Amino acid sequence: MSNIDEEVREAVESFVEQLKGLIQRAALESVQSALNGGSSSSRRDAKRSPSRGPLASQGYETTSKRSPAELAALIKKLHSHISKHPGQRIEKIGEGLGVPTKALVLPVKRLISEKKVTTKGQKRATVYFAH
Protein backbone atom coordinates (compact mmCIF):
# COMPACT_ATOMS: atom_id res chain seq x y z
CA MET A 1 0.00 0.00 0.00
CA SER A 2 1.29 3.47 -0.79
CA ASN A 3 1.85 6.11 1.83
CA ILE A 4 -1.15 8.17 0.64
CA ASP A 5 -3.47 5.16 0.84
CA GLU A 6 -2.34 4.54 4.41
CA GLU A 7 -2.95 8.19 5.38
CA VAL A 8 -6.43 8.11 3.82
CA ARG A 9 -7.30 4.90 5.70
CA GLU A 10 -6.10 6.40 9.01
CA ALA A 11 -8.06 9.60 8.41
CA VAL A 12 -11.23 7.62 7.66
CA GLU A 13 -10.78 5.46 10.76
CA SER A 14 -10.21 8.57 12.90
CA PHE A 15 -13.34 10.18 11.48
CA VAL A 16 -15.38 7.03 12.13
CA GLU A 17 -14.19 6.94 15.77
CA GLN A 18 -15.12 10.60 16.28
CA LEU A 19 -18.51 10.01 14.71
CA LYS A 20 -19.14 6.99 16.97
CA GLY A 21 -18.35 9.12 20.02
CA LEU A 22 -20.73 11.87 18.95
CA ILE A 23 -23.53 9.39 18.24
CA GLN A 24 -23.04 7.72 21.63
CA ARG A 25 -23.10 11.09 23.40
CA ALA A 26 -26.26 12.16 21.56
CA ALA A 27 -27.96 8.85 22.41
CA LEU A 28 -26.97 9.18 26.06
CA GLU A 29 -28.33 12.74 26.26
CA SER A 30 -31.56 11.62 24.60
CA VAL A 31 -32.01 8.77 27.09
CA GLN A 32 -31.23 11.04 30.05
CA SER A 33 -33.76 13.57 28.80
CA ALA A 34 -36.41 10.88 28.41
CA LEU A 35 -35.72 9.53 31.91
CA ASN A 36 -36.03 13.02 33.36
CA GLY A 37 -39.48 13.29 31.79
CA GLY A 38 -38.32 15.79 29.22
CA SER A 39 -38.12 18.44 31.95
CA SER A 40 -34.98 20.05 30.59
CA SER A 41 -36.14 23.03 28.59
CA SER A 42 -34.48 23.93 25.34
CA ARG A 43 -32.89 27.27 24.62
CA ARG A 44 -35.69 28.16 22.24
CA ASP A 45 -38.32 27.74 24.98
CA ALA A 46 -36.31 29.90 27.35
CA LYS A 47 -36.17 32.77 24.86
CA ARG A 48 -39.92 32.98 24.35
CA SER A 49 -41.93 35.49 26.30
CA PRO A 50 -44.36 33.86 28.72
CA SER A 51 -47.80 34.49 27.24
CA ARG A 52 -47.67 37.39 24.87
CA GLY A 53 -47.39 37.10 21.13
CA PRO A 54 -46.37 39.58 18.43
CA LEU A 55 -49.77 41.25 18.43
CA ALA A 56 -49.53 42.13 22.13
CA SER A 57 -47.19 45.05 21.44
CA GLN A 58 -49.95 46.68 19.40
CA GLY A 59 -52.65 46.25 22.00
CA TYR A 60 -53.87 42.85 20.79
CA GLU A 61 -53.51 40.03 23.29
CA THR A 62 -53.02 36.70 21.59
CA THR A 63 -53.85 34.68 24.67
CA SER A 64 -57.34 36.06 25.24
CA LYS A 65 -60.41 36.11 23.03
CA ARG A 66 -61.96 39.32 21.86
CA SER A 67 -65.33 40.06 23.30
CA PRO A 68 -68.31 39.97 20.91
CA ALA A 69 -68.62 43.75 21.23
CA GLU A 70 -64.96 44.29 20.28
CA LEU A 71 -65.29 41.91 17.35
CA ALA A 72 -68.49 43.59 16.14
CA ALA A 73 -66.84 47.01 16.36
CA LEU A 74 -63.83 45.80 14.37
CA ILE A 75 -66.09 44.21 11.73
CA LYS A 76 -68.00 47.48 11.36
CA LYS A 77 -64.77 49.49 11.15
CA LEU A 78 -63.35 47.03 8.58
CA HIS A 79 -66.50 47.17 6.41
CA SER A 80 -66.45 50.95 6.49
CA HIS A 81 -62.79 51.05 5.46
CA ILE A 82 -63.33 48.59 2.60
CA SER A 83 -66.31 50.65 1.39
CA LYS A 84 -64.21 53.81 1.32
CA HIS A 85 -61.13 52.13 -0.17
CA PRO A 86 -62.22 49.36 -2.57
CA GLY A 87 -59.64 47.10 -4.17
CA GLN A 88 -57.08 47.15 -1.36
CA ARG A 89 -55.13 44.14 -0.12
CA ILE A 90 -55.36 43.08 3.52
CA GLU A 91 -51.90 44.52 4.32
CA LYS A 92 -52.97 48.00 3.22
CA ILE A 93 -56.30 47.67 5.02
CA GLY A 94 -54.47 46.73 8.21
CA GLU A 95 -52.14 49.70 7.85
CA GLY A 96 -55.10 52.03 7.27
CA LEU A 97 -56.89 50.77 10.36
CA GLY A 98 -53.76 50.47 12.48
CA VAL A 99 -54.53 46.79 13.08
CA PRO A 100 -52.25 43.81 12.39
CA THR A 101 -53.41 41.56 9.56
CA LYS A 102 -53.65 38.56 11.90
CA ALA A 103 -56.35 40.40 13.84
CA LEU A 104 -58.34 40.93 10.62
CA VAL A 105 -58.62 37.27 9.61
CA LEU A 106 -61.84 36.50 11.49
CA PRO A 107 -63.60 39.82 10.76
CA VAL A 108 -62.91 39.58 7.03
CA LYS A 109 -64.13 35.96 6.94
CA ARG A 110 -67.34 37.04 8.65
CA LEU A 111 -67.88 39.87 6.18
CA ILE A 112 -67.33 37.49 3.26
CA SER A 113 -69.70 34.88 4.69
CA GLU A 114 -72.37 37.56 5.26
CA LYS A 115 -71.81 38.63 1.63
CA LYS A 116 -71.03 42.19 2.64
CA VAL A 117 -67.60 41.91 1.03
CA THR A 118 -66.41 40.17 -2.13
CA THR A 119 -62.89 39.25 -3.13
CA LYS A 120 -60.87 39.02 -6.30
CA GLY A 121 -57.53 37.26 -6.62
CA GLN A 122 -55.90 34.56 -4.55
CA LYS A 123 -53.69 34.37 -1.48
CA ARG A 124 -51.67 37.56 -1.04
CA ALA A 125 -53.05 39.07 -4.23
CA THR A 126 -56.60 39.08 -2.84
CA VAL A 127 -58.33 42.46 -2.99
CA TYR A 128 -61.56 43.32 -1.20
CA PHE A 129 -64.71 45.12 -2.36
CA ALA A 130 -67.77 46.10 -0.29
CA HIS A 131 -71.37 45.62 -1.43
In a domain, 83, yes or no: yes
Q: What is the mean pLDDT of each run of 10 residues along the chain (131 residues)?
A: 84 89 90 75 48 52 76 94 96 94 93 95 93 86
Identify whether residues 76 and 37 lie together within a single domain: no
In a domain, 60, yes or no: no
Q: How many domains does the chain have?
A: 2
In a domain, 77, yes or no: yes
If DSSP codes are grouped into helix, strand and coil, which group holds residue 65? coil
In a domain, 25, yes or no: yes
User: Whole-prediction pTM value?
Assistant: 0.54
What pLDDT sits at residue 37?
74
Report how far residue 14's alpha carbon sits from residue 36's, in angstroms, rounded to the nearest whole number. Answer: 33
Concatenating the DSSP letter of every residue in 71-128 gives HHHHHHHHHHHHHHSTTB-HHHHHHHHT--HHHHHHHHHHHHHTTSEEEESSGGG-EE
Report how far residue 108's alpha carbon sits from residue 114's, in angstroms, rounded to the nearest whole number. Answer: 10
Identify whether residues 74 and 104 lie together within a single domain: yes
In a domain, 8, yes or no: yes
Task: Answer for the pair 107, 76: CB distance below 8 angstroms, yes or no.
Answer: no
CATH number at residue 94: 1.10.10.10
In a domain, 26, yes or no: yes
Distance of CA 37 to the CA centre of its chain: 27
73 is in which domain, residue-wise?
65-130
Identify whether residues 115 and 84 lie together within a single domain: yes
What pLDDT sits at residue 75?
94
129 strand-pairing partners: 118
Report how far residue 78's alpha carbon sits from residue 99's, in angstroms, rounded to the nearest whole number. Answer: 10
In a domain, 55, yes or no: no
